[in-house]
Structure 1
Amino acid sequence: MVTGLRVMGLMTSQDNTNSLYSLSIQIHLDGLSFFTQNIHSKEVIDAQIIAFSTQVNPATLLTEVQNAFKDSLVLSQNFDKVTVVYSNELFTVVPSALFDPTKGADYLKFNTKILSTDHIAHDSIDFYDIVTVYVPYTNVNNFFFDTFGSFDYYHSTTIFTKYLLGKFTSGEDPQVLINLQGSYFEMGVVQHKKLLFVNRFEIRSKEDFIYYVLFTMEQLELSSETTAVVLTGSITKEDAYYKIAHTYIRHLTIADAEHSQIQQAQAILGSLL
């Protein structure tokens, strides 16, 4: 079970809608992706990726998000449920037994730069006793609040970790999952139904990608000759990222997206919502 944060507010005229659709949005500093689903059938109605012309900073991110909403007719509709996922490096993962919600900044200050004004949020993956502590983009949250009223939000690492632990815990050998999303990727390792490692890496080239993958495997004493590595997200066998990974990793496969319409955007998110 993933327990995230829910921002509540008084709904406007959207309260009167009979919409049966949900909206899921993933936010990154170089763009956003979203898809809409029928709440009951889970049918994907629409899926899009919107790339910003350049990578922005948290202060100017709001303008890009607002522009995306102005330009997209899909995003101007009413929805019964809205879920926002933030993908940034401002996070850490903490065992539930060690987590104190009043000390969120203390968990983050050793591995990421935070400001005294930053709002610290957390998601709980209760069944596995894991908490993701992170900084959401408050200005963007306020925009979604004004637009939709109530909505749920999470960090992308929470969604990725839940997917990893739910799908890749069979067998005795360690298993590696990599979710490639253009300018970054998430990487997790599980063994004996336990999370050994999870992190997120910003990349600019296929060389960055393979360096982080092989370095992580080396530090965890995982052999590139024997360890199974599964790729998902925005990757195909024709991609340079796959080809360079295949050069160094013997047992490499690409997972089929559970919703083919959103394979390039949010396959993992789509399987969980």
Structure 2
Amino acid sequence: MNTINTHYRLSHQIQDEAFILSQAAKCNLYLSISQKSIRLAVMDTERNKFVVLEDYELITVFTPMQVAEQLRLIAQENPLLQEQKWNTIRLAISNIHFTLVPETLYDPAHQHDYLRLHSDLNPLQDVVLAYRHNSLEAINIFSLDASTYQALEALFPERQLQFVHQTSTLIRSVLHLAPRTNLRSMYVFVERNYVTLLVVGPSGLEFCNIFHYLSPEDFIYYIIFVMQEQKMNPEQETIMVWGDITHDSSLFNILQKYIRQIKLGKKPSDLEYSYKFHDMFEHRYFELYSLHLCE
């Protein structure tokens, strides 16, 4: 007897009329997975254009095992997750279990040791993975719950999946768009109960971390704290914001109260998007689009 209940809802769906699943071999499938959502996108590599986006909100899901269960349930109903012939399948994992290690100090045999300094690892429940940032000369080491990893492997049993941590997608995209100046800038990516903060200066990435917040007061505290630690002035700086935030939200209101200038970010440049994407807020789904910049 199947005792697994459905705890997801499809909150957003876009599909270009020109896309058909038989074209999968010339398309990339991108997935972004967190405890709050499972998001999919399809990139037509011949046209360099995003043609599909689906956003599944996870409801009353509290553990990685439950995320894996919901992923399997979504896959049973979703032809995109049943298709095996994608050109590339790349997945972004959103959690707080990551660390950036200089390439000169990196030893693959000690991945667990590097990450254990920053996270509580359980060898029986966590899979440790790594992604190389060539432009940074650094390695992003991160963990993924084994139940989710196994569910993904089972969906695509004959494919080599490309796993990256969500911070890597943000780093790649932010460095791609950040102007080369002598100024330092803060970039903010908002999720439900989590905020990722990046600081980029003349020499490149200077700071990257994720903070867990429960209230707007928590949210702004971390932003102000990092700005002060990085010698940035909230009264003078302009910060760029992406993610799950709206103009009328309590998070945006408190940002406006403490930060002089706030800009909502746009979709990554140099990529094309089906006309159906034009009706969405530009600052949404940045982490999903940015997967295309990770190689």
For the criterion TM > 0.5, the same-fold answer is: yes
Whether the 8 Å contact between 1:34 and 1:265 is mirrored in structure 2 is: no
Q: Do the aligned partners of residues 181 and 175 (structure 1) sit closer, same or farther apart at CA in structure 2, a change above 3 Å counting?
A: same
Residue-by-residue CA offset, 1:91-134 (whole Å, 9 max, x unaligned): 11111122111111221222211113332211110121121111
Report the aligned-residue RMSD: 2.1
Residue-by-residue CA offset, 1:204-261 (whole Å, 9 max, x unaligned): 3322211111111122221101222111123332332222111101121111224546
Which among 89, 92, 99 is matched to residue 92 of structure 1? 99
How far did 1:73 drift? 4.0
Which among 235, 258, 264 is matched to residue 225 of structure 1? 235
2:217 is aligned with 1:207: yes
2:64 is aligned with 1:45: no
Q: Do the aligned partners of residues 142 and 265 (structure 1) sit closer, same or farther apart at CA in structure 2, a change above 3 Å counting?
A: farther
| 2:65 alignment partner in structure 1 | 59
Residue-by-residue CA offset, 1:59-99 (whole Å, 9 max, x unaligned): 33211111121233443344332111111111111111221
Pairs aligned (count): 257
2:81 is aligned with 1:75: yes
Which among 135, 153, 156 is matched to residue 163 of structure 2? 153
Letter in 1 for 2:100: V
| 1:5 alignment partner in structure 2 | none
TM-score, with length taken from structure 2: 0.80
| 2:117 alignment partner in structure 1 | 110
Which among 130, 137, 157 is matched to residue 138 of structure 2? 130
Whether the 8 Å contact between 2:264 and 2:283 is mirrored in structure 1 is: no
Letter in 2 for 1:91: F
Residue-by-residue CA offset, 1:176-231 (whole Å, 9 max, x unaligned): 00111233221100111322110112233322211111111122221101222111
Letter in 2 for 1:102: A
| 2:267 alignment partner in structure 1 | 257
Letter in 2 for 1:54: T
Whether the 8 Å contact between 2:172 and 2:290 is mirrored in structure 1 is: no
| 1:270 alignment partner in structure 2 | 289
Q: Do the aligned partners of residues 203 and 33 (structure 1) sit closer, same or farther apart at CA in structure 2, a change above 3 Å counting?
A: farther
**Secondary structure of 2:150's aligned partner:** helix
Letter in 2 for 1:231: V
> Which piece of structure 1 moves more, 122-131 or 226-235?
226-235
- Aligned equivalents of 1:271 and 1:57: distance in 2? 26
Query: Runs of 5+ in structure 1 lacking a partner?
Result: 1-16
| 1:27 alignment partner in structure 2 | 33
Letter in 2 for 1:21: C
Letter in 2 for 1:99: Y
- Aligned equivalents of 1:141 and 1:111: distance in 2? 21
> Which piece of structure 1 moves more, 203-212 or 126-135?
203-212
2:147 is aligned with 1:139: yes
Letter in 2 for 1:252: I
- Aligned equivalents of 1:192 and 1:264: distance in 2? 24
Whether the 8 Å contact between 2:81 and 2:155 is mirrored in structure 1 is: no
Letter in 1 for 2:118: N
Letter in 1 for 2:89: V
How far did 1:159 drift? 1.1
Which among 184, 194, 197 is matched to residue 207 of structure 2? 197
- Aligned equivalents of 1:183 and 1:68: distance in 2? 24
Whether the 8 Å contact between 1:236 and 1:254 is mirrored in structure 2 is: no
Q: Do the aligned partners of residues 251 and 146 (structure 1) sit closer, same or farther apart at CA in structure 2, a change above 3 Å counting?
A: same
- Aligned equivalents of 2:65 and 2:143: distance in 1? 14
How far did 1:173 drift? 1.5
- Aligned equivalents of 1:245 and 1:265: distance in 2? 17
- Aligned equivalents of 2:50 and 2:175: distance in 1? 24
| 1:3 alignment partner in structure 2 | none
Identical columns (%) = 19
- Aligned equivalents of 1:95 and 1:115: distance in 2? 24
Whether the 8 Å contact between 2:41 and 2:51 is mirrored in structure 1 is: yes
2:194 is aligned with 1:184: yes
| 1:36 alignment partner in structure 2 | 42
TM-score, with length taken from structure 1: 0.86
Letter in 2 for 1:224: P
